[in-house]
Amino acid sequence: MDWFNKPEESPGGKTTPLQVSELSVIIEELLDDGRLQGVWVKGEVTNYTHHSRGHRYFSLSEKGGNGTTAVIKCVMWRSDAERLAFSPAEGMEVIVSGTVRLYAPHGSYQLQVKEMKKAGLGEKYLLVEQWKRELAAEGCFASEKKRPLPVFPEKVGVVTSETGAVIHDIVTVITRRYPVEIIISPTAVQGETAHGEIAQAIRRLGGCVDVVIVARGGGSFEDLFAFNHPDVVRAIAACPVPVVSAIGHEVDVTLADLAADLRAPTPSAAAELVVPDRAVLLLQIHELKSLLTASLQGRIAWAREEQTGMRDRLRPQRFVHRIEERKTTTADLADRLGRACTTRIEREHLLLAELRTALESRSPLAVLARGYCVAEKDGLIVKSVGGITRDDRMKIRFYDGNTDIIVERVNHERDL
């Protein structure tokens, strides 16, 4: 009997044979299981082929204790393979992330790989994911715990390496925008023990400043690994004042960034976020002064119109006596209102003068006005004669302008 060609029978129990495509659909539906989506798999690379079109074909194998070997075929399409930071090779132990799919033309399943890491580095990625889940459960990343930055901080704490461009950039930006006291809590920013130093540096600043910047320059995943450590994340979450993170480049996101109250793309941007711009503040003060003056002048004009109206309504001769009384009262009110307005204007002028004095006292120009000057070379401030040589072209900045000079001689202190 030809079983495959037998006719479809009634619902008594017999069925029509499946088409191959129908069976493939069923298999594909079975493989569409959440446990097979976005899985991480560790194994040894075998049968590796780098196709001319950029695709990578290989297998992941694992030797069992009884001498058997488990193997799964893998493919990494060119769009994903272009992001590889290394070249896979036969026998290399890797950790991959992907989804199990049916390859219908061959009737086989394969792991479509999206990411691949060397086993050592890949394990670190998995460890960070584990830390992320644990710290999220503790509430370290909760959005409702994020605090606003102080509008006018008096002390800014900086946790970073005490050498390098990061601290220089932060100090330069803050000094230019809104000079405040900067307290540096130095620490190592990478290495096996860096996470403990970073956490301790954050705790040292607690209660001593109004806001904290945690920063370091760019680097690889391993360079930034210390900022993923739970010790650093918990120190940021427990900090009594707001924390701004500026770790790595904008595309680098660490667990410390997720725990911070605000994340900045660069250390310079972090400095701009924690302090206001005094030029903008002065403009706002000027605008408020103009609004206040206009408001007071309007109220005075309104009072005068009211006074005139009252006088006109009381002009009939039969009300001469009452008019005289009203004149006296109106004059008294006008006098009191005039004095009150004058006092208010003087008080506001005094307040504005105090604000102006406070701002000018913090201005670097106030220091230059006392007879000091600033030497610049190639656009940078020169702090020591060690950075000057003969025939250097420099700019000397005074209170009311600047001048260009050429160095004829450099005298070191040891020469004096």
Report the alpha-carbon distance of residue 402 to residue 416 in Å, rounded: 27
- Give the largest Cα separation in the chain, rounded: 133
Is the pLDDT at 7 greater than 80? The verdict is no
Q: What is the pLDDT of residue 323?
A: 64
Question: In this structure, what token pair is assigned to residue 213?
Answer: 């910047």
Task: Tell me the pLDDT of the chain averaged across its residues.
Answer: 85
Answer whether 0.95 is exceeded by the pTM.
no
DSSP state of 163: S
Give the other-Cβ count within 10 Å of 260's Cβ.
Answer: 26
pLDDT tens-digit readout, 90-101: 878 888 999 988
Report the alpha-carbon distance of residue 136 to residue 246 in Å, rounded: 20
Please, what's the b/e burial string for 215-238 (b: 16 or more CB within 10 A of its CB; e: otherwise)?
Answer: bbbebebebbbbbbbbebbbbbbe
Contact yes or no for 153/180 (Cβ under 8 A):
yes
Report the alpha-carbon distance of residue 363 to residue 104 in Å, rounded: 73
Confidence of residue 146 (pLDDT cuts 50, 70, 90): very high
Confidence of residue 2 (pLDDT cuts 50, 70, 90): very low
Confidence of residue 120 (pLDDT cuts 50, 70, 90): low
Length of the chain: 416
pLDDT tens-digit readout, 332-382: 888 888 888 888 888 888 888 888 887 777 777 777 777 888 889 888 888
N-term to C-term CA, the chain = 116
pLDDT tens-digit readout, 56-87: 999 998 887 677 888 889 999 999 999 888 88
Contact yes or no for 246/214 (Cβ under 8 A):
yes
Report the alpha-carbon distance of residue 111 to residue 43 in Å, rounded: 12
C-alpha torsion 264→268→269→275, nearest 10: 110
Question: How is 235-293 classified by DSSP, letter by letter?
Answer: HHHH-SS-EEEEES-TT---HHHHHSSEE-SSHHHHHHHHS--HHHHHHHHHHHHHHHH
Decide: helix, strand or coil at residue 322.
helix
Is the pLDDT at 201 greater than 90? The verdict is yes
Please, what's the b/e burial string for 79-113 (b: 16 or more CB within 10 A of its CB; e: otherwise)?
Answer: ebbeeeeeebeeebebbbbbebbbeeeeeebbbbb
**Mean per-residue pLDDT, 246-272:** 91
